[in-house]
């Protein structure tokens, strides 16, 4: 199904997951583990499973392997991420054609972070807007985009960031998936600002069920996501027990998602970190 069919106001709540190509040592073992996790995620019958993609095609082959596993063997709807930074026009056109040949209907169009370990960095595209404009010339893919309830780190202001999202919407974006956040109030305010700006596409909250205290600290540091002291203290109580931390993460995310759906969010996009348990348990909690 295309994004416009999935997010049509009739299928709510819509659940989706994000996974990424494993990195580091023992890549074959990590891929095997990921495929096991994907089988578990597939049991939830998600509307989409998105697969991240490194800037400049740095993990292209691994991303394709995951996409093919989901698409061909597990028969799951896939939404590949597609970043344009450090990619040439020719490369992007060729890769999009390969994606379409697999029967993929949707992508998440992103600028992406500039990699530090690439020899040649093309400057054909400076933003996701330029990527989208280019894709519309030759592709029938429907595309989603990123949204930032707490502002993109490089944006001058939240208002400027929302202006960019409006331009993406005007170019035909069907849905926006947000950066992860822990303060629902920031999403509510962001959503209201988007409505006032005339943005009428679904804005799907991105949620990360916390699985370890060190992971939480690292993600907050890397993403700049706002987190209240009481939330940090909540998870810090369980930092010496992996099992208790996972349960606390499930409980926190379950309450967060329930309130978001009550607010009117059309679905939830789970950042799984390649683990199925927490996201599946949250869905069970909010749908039972």
Neighbouring-strand partners of residue 147: 178
**3-class DSSP state for residue 82?**
strand
Please confirm, yes or no, whether 18 is among the known catalytic residues: yes
- Kind of pairing between the strands at 142-147 and 175-180: parallel
**What is the C-alpha to C-alpha distance for residues 195 and 186, in angstroms, rounded to an integer?**
14
Instruction: Spot the catalytic one: 5, 18, 32, 281.
Output: 18
Helix-helix angle 242-263:277-287, to 10 degrees: 40
**What is the C-alpha to C-alpha distance for residues 171 and 133, in angstroms, rounded to an integer?**
7
Q: What is the CA radius of gyration of the chain?
A: 18
Q: Are 205 and 260 in contact (CB under 8 A)?
A: yes
Active site members: 18
């Amino acid at each position: 199904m295309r994004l416009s069919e999935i997010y049509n106001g009739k299928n709510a709540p819509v659940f989706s997951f994000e996974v990424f190509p494993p990195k580091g040592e023992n890549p074959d073992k990590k891929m095997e583990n990921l495929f096991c996790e994907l089988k578990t995620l597939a049991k939830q019958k998600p509307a989409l499973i998105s697969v991240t993609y490194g800037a400049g095609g740095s993990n292209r082959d691994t991303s394709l392997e995951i996409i093919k596993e989901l698409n061909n063997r597990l028969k799951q709807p896939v939404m590949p991420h597609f970043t344009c930074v450090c990619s040439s026009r020719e490369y992007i056109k060729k890769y999009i054609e390969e994606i379409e040949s697999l029967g993929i209907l949707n992508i998440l169009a992103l600028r992406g972070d500039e990699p530090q370990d690439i020899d040649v960095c093309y400057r054909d595209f400076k933003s996701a807007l330029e990527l989208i404009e280019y894709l519309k010339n030759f592709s029938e893919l429907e595309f989603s985009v990123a949204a930032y309830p707490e502002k993109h780190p490089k944006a001058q202001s939240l208002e400027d960031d929302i202006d960019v999202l409006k331009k993406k919407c005007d170019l035909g974006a069907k849905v926006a998936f947000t950066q992860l956040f822990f303060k629902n109030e920031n999403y509510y305010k962001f959503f209201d600002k988007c409505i006032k700006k005339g943005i009428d596409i679904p804005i799907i909250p991105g949620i990360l069920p916390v699985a370890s205290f060190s992971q939480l600290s690292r993600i907050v540091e890397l993403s700049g996501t706002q987190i209240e002291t009481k939330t940090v203290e909540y998870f810090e109580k369980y930092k010496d027990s992996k099992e208790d931390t996972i349960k606390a993460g499930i409980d926190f995310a379950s309450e967060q998602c329930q309130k978001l759906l009550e607010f009117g969010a059309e679905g939830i996009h789970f950042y799984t970190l390649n683990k199925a348990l927490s996201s599946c348990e949250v869905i069970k909690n909010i749908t039972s």
